[in-house]
Amino acid sequence: MQAGELYRPDAELAADHTAAEQWMARYNASGASSAAELHALLGERFRKVGRDAVIRPPFFCDYGSNISLGDGVFLNFNCVILDVVEVVIGDRTQIGPAVQIYTADHPRDAETRRAGLESGRPIRIGSDVWIGGGAIILPGITIGDGALVGAGSVVTRNVAPGAIVAGNPARARPA
């Protein structure tokens, strides 16, 4: 799965997903908890949680164990990260409400999908990125340092460092 090859979901993955669901129930019910308590909860599940990283509940993910957050990362309410493979979010990146980050992918031909095979492609989001509310980041995307993704955009291609993209599909815009 981590290598981006086709895999078939099995009992071990189902158990990992169930553990993540139980963790999400605790995290999402803790809205009145202090920032330190929320940070500690993130540390229970995520691969890495940088200093002062914040995710406002509710938050949803597949596993959590494939997510790495840099220092000062902020995710607003209702974000979804499908982390069947690695998701890395760099320092000081700000992510608006209802942003969806999808590493989960599926074969393009119906016969392979029918066989129940899936795959994933990692997502890397640089430092000092701003992703507007409701944006969707598709599997395999890299967003460079300092880039800006407009609200509601669907990011289907890599975004260069410092670029501004918006729309569906997201395209470069002047600064």
Q: Which are the catalytic amino acids?
A: 106
Identify whether 107 is preceded by a cis peptide bond (ω within 30 of 0).
no
CB atoms within 10 A of CB 54: 16
- How far is the C-alpha of 104 from the C-alpha of 131, rounded, in Å? 20
Beta bridge partner(s), residue 125: 89, 143
Beta bridge partner(s), residue 7: 118
- How far is the C-alpha of 70 from the C-alpha of 76, rounded, in Å? 15
- How far is the C-alpha of 86 from the C-alpha of 142, rounded, in Å? 12
Give the helix/strand (H/E) hosting 14: helix 11-28
Q: Report which of 32, 76, 30 is spatially closest to residue 44, judged by C-alpha positions.
A: 30
